[in-house]
Amino acid sequence: MRHSLALILLLTLTACGTFQSAEEKEKNIPVEQLYADAMEEMENHNYEKAVTQFEKLQSRYPYGRYAQQAQLETAYAYYKQKEPESALAAIDRFIKQYPNNAHVDYAYYMKGLINFNEDLGLLGGVVKQDLSDRDPNSARDAFDAFKDLATRFPDSQYAPDSRLRMQYLINVLARYEIHVAEFYLRRGAYVAAASRAKGVLSSYAQTPASRDALRIMVQAYAAMGMNDLRDDAQRVLDRNVEKDLAAGIVAAPQSAKPWWQFWK
């Protein structure tokens, strides 16, 4: 009996020792190996597992270039999982924690593209979906991120594409205002329609939407019997109708590299 108890105790201690050794071994995995394992999951499109690995890396090695790169990779993994909110949260944390990182310009660019692609939708580039038919919040957020990049890092490799997308988004936001103004016009809310159209002329004067804004103002003022204002708007419209406003139209940047091609 005494020998049996001794044997049980020995086996128990051995098991505990084995468990502790495995745990210690797990803790002692070098940061390079954790990063390589996470990137392997990324390459195999196992994005959920990759996120887990990157978070483990950041928890055990919270400082240094691997932790910083892991946070950017986490954002990309969330994006690939179609979790834009989590991706944007990771990007915002990176920008706040590492404002002087050598790749912070890419973080701003990625923030803009996540919003841009989220609003455009997966089929937007194929069916030519009009972003101005949708809520403009993502478009505004994308514009702001691209503007931050272009302003803070004018020489960044991502700046030219950011400026191209900004110009496109300005046209999107202008068309959204026209949709709202036309809605008011159809409802007989002529004051609101004219006011919204004037806002387009004030904020987006160089876009093709300015001609539609003038047309709405003419119709709204006519409906309200404000003939002087109607005639003024009509004269401006007549002067512009022959001009080549198409020069301000920017198509969605089909020729620009998809953002993931800039990765690394």
pLDDT value at 58 more than 50 = yes
**Count of other CB atoms within 10 angstroms of residue 246:** 7
**What domains can be seen in the chain, in order of their start residue?**
21-100 (1.25.40.10)
**In the structure, what pLDDT confidence band is assigned to residue 244 with cuts at 50, 70 and 90?**
very low
The distance from CA 194 to its chain's CA centroid, rounded to whole angstroms, is 32
> At 177, which amino acid appears?
E
| Widest Cα–Cα separation across the chain | 111
Contacts 24+ apart (CB under 8 A), 191-199: 191/220, 191/224, 193/219, 193/220, 194/220, 194/221, 194/224
Confidence at residue 15, expressed as pLDDT on a 0 to 100 scale: 54
Confidence at residue 28, expressed as pLDDT on a 0 to 100 scale: 72
**241 vs 40, residue with greater confidence:** 40
**In the structure, what pLDDT confidence band is assigned to residue 259 with cuts at 50, 70 and 90?**
very low
pLDDT above 90 as % of the chain: 57
pLDDT in tens, 114-165: 998 765 543 233 334 454 556 688 889 999 999 999 999 999 999 999 999 9
Q: List CB contacts of 156: < 8 A, sequence separation 6 or more.
A: 105, 109, 149, 162
pLDDT in tens, 83-101: 999 999 999 999 999 999 9
Distance CA 241, CA 245 (A): 8
Q: Is the dihedral of CA 139, 144, 147, 148 positive or negative?
A: negative
**Count of other CB atoms within 10 angstroms of residue 143:** 23
Give the residue carrying structure tokens 């709204």: 220
pLDDT value at 250 more than 70 = no
Confidence at residue 24, expressed as pLDDT on a 0 to 100 scale: 59
- Structure-block tokens of residue 196: 């919204």
Confidence at residue 223, expressed as pLDDT on a 0 to 100 scale: 94
Distance CA 78, CA 51 (A): 8
The number of helices, as runs of H, and strands, as runs of E, in the chain is: 12, 0
Average pLDDT, the chain: 81
pLDDT in tens, 7-53: 555 555 555 555 545 455 566 788 899 999 999 999 999 999 999 99
Distance CA 141, CA 91 (A): 13
- Indicate the length of the chain as a whole number: 264
